[in-house]
Amino acid sequence: MNDEPKRILIMEDSDIFADMLMNSFDSGKYLFERAVNGFDGIKKVYSYLPHLIITDIEMPIFKGYQVTRLLKSRKNTKSIPVIMFTALDEAKDKFWGTQAGADFYIEKSPDNLKPLTQAVENILFSSQNVDFNAIEREGRKINDNSIIEIVNNLLDNKLFQTTIIGLLTELSSKVHSMDMTASGVFDLLNTVCEAEIISMMIRGNNRLLYIYTANNGGFSNEITESFFEICSSDFNKLLKDFKYTSKIEKHFSFNTGTEQKEDIASSYTQNQKKIISYMSIPLTIATEIFATIHIGNSKNDYFSPSITENINVFTGAAAPVIANSLSMHEINELQRNTRTAFARYVPADVMDEIIHDTTKKVQMSENRNISVLFADIRDFTDLAENLEAQCVVDFLNTYFAKMGSEIISESGHIDKFIGDAIMAVFGAFLPLENSPENAVRAALKMLAAMEMINNSNNKFSKEKVKIGIGINCGECILGNIGFKNKMDFTIIGDTVNLASRVENLTKTYHHPLIVSEYVYEAVKEKFLFRKIDNVLVKGKNKPVGIYAVYSGFLGSDGKKLRSGETADIPVLPSLLINRDLMQNYNKGMQVFHMREWKLAGEYFSMALEADGSDFLSKLYLERSSGFAHTPPEDSWDGIFKLSEK
């Protein structure tokens, strides 16, 4: 080896193991870059130009052996040595690694770090020269779409299909309208095949037909009109009973996603290109056809068996995405056209439901997936004990008005007041795209409003009044409860009970806003979270993970999320966290649950160096010290049982 530092690309999604790997090498001899998933790893091969790659097998998007197989099949990258350093030691995993072309395979373990470093040195010493100039030239042509094309051509067809389905799943979580869904589906369809001209026809409610089209091949007016007539004929044959009275048409121009509401034909390039190959695919939900996709191409016999298979897999996965988007669109349209009404104590949309539904349905209960928020004033009894009743009532009216306003601003509803506590629900009466997101955003606004109350001329308490908020989401029972003279339209179920328990844990863990793992999973890309614990609350048989919510990091870029976007939420000084604290705390939590008590204690100590008042770091430093002295049983599962509700 010459004296020039060698570049090593580490493909590892675990922060802990990535740090361990980098720290085990001589920093003077090696430079490091990291990729957190296989897709990112492929791109960094062309931008970082590594002398050697160390990869795990189990990674997001593409597995390590799939990335290796791709790189080893390329003329310019096949000379880059690849080491698989993985916790998977089964024979089949070693087989896949060997078949993919890995140069070395070693089990992931702290005990194997030294053999790994030796293997790296031996491989680099003996490996042939890599033409980085050629890789760099090829890299200029590489982008996300071309990587997918490479996957389609060089990897198993099933992997390509799995990747496309994954991209459809990602699309479904991002789109907010029918038009966005259609545009996204068309873009992905062009990745699956050469869809030179496309039409998608969707049966809507109230005899409304949705038509989306794209002429990516620049066919003439006459040919496109003929194509769309054939599409319409095929659609009508498949949905004979559907007689539309009106239609909505949108055209996406030349694969740019630009909408044109004018005459579709006016935008087409005039040429004599003809449509030679045609394919029509029905889209079904529960065996019922609700839409069709029609694809045309200028090549003879274009739709080969492999292309047809890919298209069928794609449309099968796209059908529920399109159907869900249609349902959300029609619900939103119904809400937009439904009058808001009239009672002070009954939510407007509940009154609409009573008006528009039958009496039988209103009297029945139903299950819905919603989010539930509980808020409670800390030590309210002690604060109110020595005050006049009118002062307490005045404060509560101000408090409830402020909190209620923030809840309503996020499409939530106050289900009931319980003394000084509030129970609010999101997505129970108005369908929401992501009710946990609305609930968390409302909670942050409530905490900001509480700070405003404390900073105003507050006669209720000389000290700042504190509140705790807990949020959970899941299936609940919604309906009228009571008897004929007194009915209460409310929510009940385990989801509600757990939300109440989570709120109570804000006192235990000294944090004003805590959510369950179910909320976290739904909105983890939208807000800043810190894992608190895995707990078994009293009265429950199933443990649950709980997370603290923050409004951002201390510093100028404190509202940046891991996606790179900036969070659109209030900045609360009390909910800003030190970045170094968070990083060391998260590392400590990972090794804590690996039963590495001493190392965990070191991380929590470093977290406390960043902020000595952090309660959770103190708590886990104490737990780590205790377990280091007296380890728990081997059967310990990391769950802490709580005796109080």
Mean pLDDT across the chain:
82
Sign, CA torsion 263/269/275/278: negative
pLDDT of residue 349: 57
Q: Which residues contact 150 (CB under 8 A, 6 or more apart)?
A: 70, 74
pLDDT of residue 305: 84
Residue pair 199/213 in contact (Cβ under 8 Å)? The answer is: yes
Domain boundaries, the chain: 6-151, 159-334, 348-577, 579-636
pLDDT of residue 636: 87
Q: Does pLDDT of 410 surpass 50?
A: yes
What percent of the chain clears pLDDT 70, i.e. is strictly above it? Answer: 80
Residue pair 35/7 in contact (Cβ under 8 Å)? The answer is: no
Residue with token string 């009940």? 492
pLDDT of residue 27: 75
pLDDT of residue 154: 53
Q: What is the mean pLDDT of residues 438-466?
A: 86
Q: For residues 82 and 483, which has the higher predicted lDDT (pLDDT)?
A: 82
Q: Does pLDDT of 641 surpass 90?
A: no
pLDDT tens-digit map of 127-169: 668 888 888 888 887 777 767 666 555 555 555 666 676 677 6
Phi, psi torsion values for 33, nearest 5 degrees: -135, 150
Q: What is the mean pLDDT of residues 251-255?
A: 70
Q: Which residues contact 276 (CB under 8 A, 6 or more apart)?
A: 297, 298, 299, 300, 302
Q: What is the mean pLDDT of residues 509-535?
A: 94
Q: What is the mean pLDDT of residues 435-446?
A: 95
Top CATH class of 6-151 equals alpha beta
Amino acid at 333: E
Distance CA 170, CA 61 (A): 11
pLDDT of residue 153: 57
pLDDT tens-digit map of 269-300: 445 789 999 999 999 987 889 999 999 999 99
Q: b/e for 564-597, b at 16 or more Cβ within 10 A?
A: eeebebbebeebbbbeebbebbebbbbbbeeebb
pLDDT of residue 264: 41
Q: What is the mean pLDDT of residues 581-586?
A: 95
Q: Beta strands of 509-571 (E only): which ranges?
A: 513-516, 528-536, 544-550, 552-553
pLDDT of residue 424: 92
Q: Does pLDDT of 99 surpass 80?
A: no
Distance CA 127, CA 506 (A): 57
Q: Helix (H, G, I), strand (E, B), or coil: what is residue 50?
A: coil
pLDDT tens-digit map of 40-90: 888 888 888 998 999 887 777 777 777 887 788 778 888 889 888 776 554
Q: What's the order of all strands across the beta sheet hosting 197-203?
A: 259-260, 246-252, 208-215, 197-203, 288-297, 277-285
Q: Does pLDDT of 255 surpass 50?
A: no
pLDDT tens-digit map of 7-53: 899 988 888 888 888 888 877 788 899 988 888 888 888 888 998 99
Q: Does pLDDT of 359 surpass 60?
A: no
Q: How confident is the model at residue 420 (pLDDT cuts 50, 70, 90)?
A: confident
Q: How confident is the model at residue 558 (pLDDT cuts 50, 70, 90)?
A: low
What percent of the chain clears pLDDT 90, i.e. is strictly above it? Answer: 33
Q: How confident is the model at residue 344 (pLDDT cuts 50, 70, 90)?
A: very low
Query: Which candidate, 110, 590, 509, places its Cα nearest to that of 602?
Result: 590
Q: Beta strands of 36-91 (E only): which ranges?
A: 52-55, 82-86
Q: How confident is the model at residue 101 (pLDDT cuts 50, 70, 90)?
A: confident
Q: Does pLDDT of 488 surpass 70?
A: no
pLDDT of residue 39: 83
pLDDT of residue 358: 44
pLDDT of residue 174: 67
Q: Helix (H, G, I), strand (E, B), or coil: what is residue 33?
A: strand
Residue pair 234/240 in contact (Cβ under 8 Å)? The answer is: no
Q: What is the mean pLDDT of residues 584-599?
A: 94
pLDDT of residue 265: 40
Distance CA 469, CA 548 (A): 10
Q: Tell me which architecture the domain covering 159-334 has in CATH.
A: 2-Layer Sandwich (3.30)
Q: Tell me which architecture the domain covering 348-577 has in CATH.
A: 2-Layer Sandwich (3.30)
Q: Does pLDDT of 384 surpass 70?
A: yes
Q: Beta strands of 438-485 (E only): which ranges?
A: 467-483
